[in-house]
Amino acid sequence: MQKLVCPTPPKQGINMIQNPELYLIIAGGKIRCRRCKAQSSRTKLQCAKPALKGKVVCQFHGGLSTGPKTKEGKGRIRAAHLKHGEETLEAKAERSEKSAMFRYLTDLGNHCNMFYKKLKTRGRPPSGYTQLDLTDPEQLALAILKTLPNK
């Protein structure tokens, strides 16, 4: 006997309606509140209950959920929301490290008169950068060491 295979796995959680009606007027027109934006899986209509305070869904569609508590659950949510990784902490730290390295290289080039005229750097100095006195040989060596990649 052939086993029946579902072509698409069933969706987890609730369906969110694409263009939800945002507000609901209840109590005979006295209260205007946010409407739950969940979509009924049976009727394909928007849920008719008001959303909970500060939430977009009612208590039956996940409004009472307080989110993931465990470390792996939080990691799963973080991975689901990650789009390009340009602003992750690791990417920011690497960018800061590279710009500090570039700043030391610029200082060394200016010190050796390597450029036609002194290069001016703009903006605040990177977080890993400290101004070194390059006439002191010890600090010059330190600046050269800081231009080397860590690996």
Name which position in 46, 50, 58, 104 contacts Zn ion (CB under 5 A). Answer: 58
Residue 36 binds Zn ion (CB under 5 A): yes
Torsion sign, CA atoms 79, 80, 84, 88: negative
Between 26 and 82, CB nearer to Zn ion = 26
Nearest to 102 by CA among 41, 50, 148, 69: 148
Q: Biggest alpha carbon distance in the chain?
A: 84
Between 60 and 115, CB nearer to Zn ion = 60
The two three-digit tokens of residue 77, written as one number: 């949510």
Rg, the chain, Cα only = 29
Strand partners, 26: 31
Q: Helices 137-146 and 89-111: crossing angle, nearest 10°?
A: 140
In the complex, what is the shortest distance from the CB of residue 35 to Zn ion, in angstroms, rounded to a whole number? 8
Name which position in 34, 61, 103, 146 contacts Zn ion (CB under 5 A). Answer: 61
Residue 143 binds Zn ion (CB under 5 A): no
Residue 49 binds Zn ion (CB under 5 A): yes
- Residues sharing a CB contact under 8 Å with residue 126, sequence separation 6 or more, in sequence order: 96, 97, 99, 100, 103
Residue 132 binds Zn ion (CB under 5 A): no
In the complex, what is the shortest distance from the CB of residue 8 to Zn ion, in angstroms, rounded to a whole number? 24
Between 50 and 101, CB nearer to Zn ion = 50
Count residues contacting Zn ion (CB under 5 A)? 6
Where along the sequence are the contacts to Zn ion (CB under 5 A)?
36, 38, 47, 49, 58, 61
